[in-house]
Amino acid sequence: MILEVKNLCVDAFTHSRRRFPLVQGVSFSLKENHCIGILGESGSGKSLTCKAILGLLGEDFEVRGEVRFKGRNLLELPREERERIRQRELCMVIQSPMTAFNPLFSMKNQMLETLMLALSLETKKATKLILEAFEKVNLREGEEILEKYPHQLSGGMLQRIMIALCIALSPAVIIADEPTTAIDVANQVEVLKEFRRIRELFGTSMIFISHDLSVLSQIADELLVMCQGEVIERGTPKEIIVNPTHKTSQELIGRRLQLIKIFQECLGERPCF
């Protein structure tokens, strides 16, 4: 296993140091070239779980349990070592591409700085690496893109730029936190296609977070359903779609099927279920 999470718990503290449990007893294992999807409503603990894995939570949170990456418990490593691993081997694609980059700097400035620091590259080599990554996610005219500022690019393009940056870093694991939420349907299809291509080309392992079952069913090998900070159900996408056992899973699937039915009726089609 490349990543093993055992009994992960996250508590938050108020200013008076009162403890509030947010995530309780989350466990899963991620194999090489495997994708785990985490499904749940807003506030279910999906993103919090992944931020705890990466060590991105502040001092007002306490994280317990084990997060073993290539056999090493990340929660026990010094901060500098965790940052090094996060820069090179554990990458995160966040859900809001329009706010992922600093609006005051060009894409070239931001992307080259990241690659030069993480990989200890010179400017010329870092530029070549990111242009090659752009090609792999079908971003043409890469040199022109690098000269632009974030506000000059679409949400779908910015999302693919984040994916390209992950490719350039060649991480062992990519954590994608609702990467299709803030973009239109056409770009959602393209972004999912790029994630599937990454797996095919590089065998990268992934954790894919979403509240959209239809998105996860296209990319995940295994699903975890979360509710109120706990994993309430797990299985393959097919198993959970066909035979959900928990009430929350049933509600999530029921809503999706109802939306499909309404859409088909608007198109004048016969419902498929």
Residue 273 domain-assigned? no
Please state the pTM of the whole predicted model: 0.86
Q: Range of 250's domain?
A: 3-266
Binning pLDDT at 50, 70 and 90, where does residue 9 land?
A: very high
How many structural domains comprise the chain? 1
Residue 42 domain-assigned? yes
Residue 272 domain-assigned? no
Tell me the average pLDDT across 20-37.
94
For residue 273, pLDDT beyond 80 = no
Residue 271 domain-assigned? no
Question: What angle in degrees, to the nearest 10, is found between the helix axes of 107-119 and 79-88?
Answer: 120
Give residue 271's pLDDT. 46
Give residue 233's pLDDT. 94
Give residue 197's pLDDT. 86
Task: Give tens-digit pLDDT for 102-134.
Answer: 999 999 999 999 899 888 899 999 999 999 999
CATH number of domain containing 202: 3.40.50.300
Task: Give tens-digit pLDDT for 209-236.
Answer: 988 888 898 899 999 999 999 999 999 9
Rounded to the nearest integer, the mean pLDDT of the chain is 88
Give residue 200's pLDDT. 85
Residue 161 domain-assigned? yes
For residue 194, pLDDT beyond 80 = yes
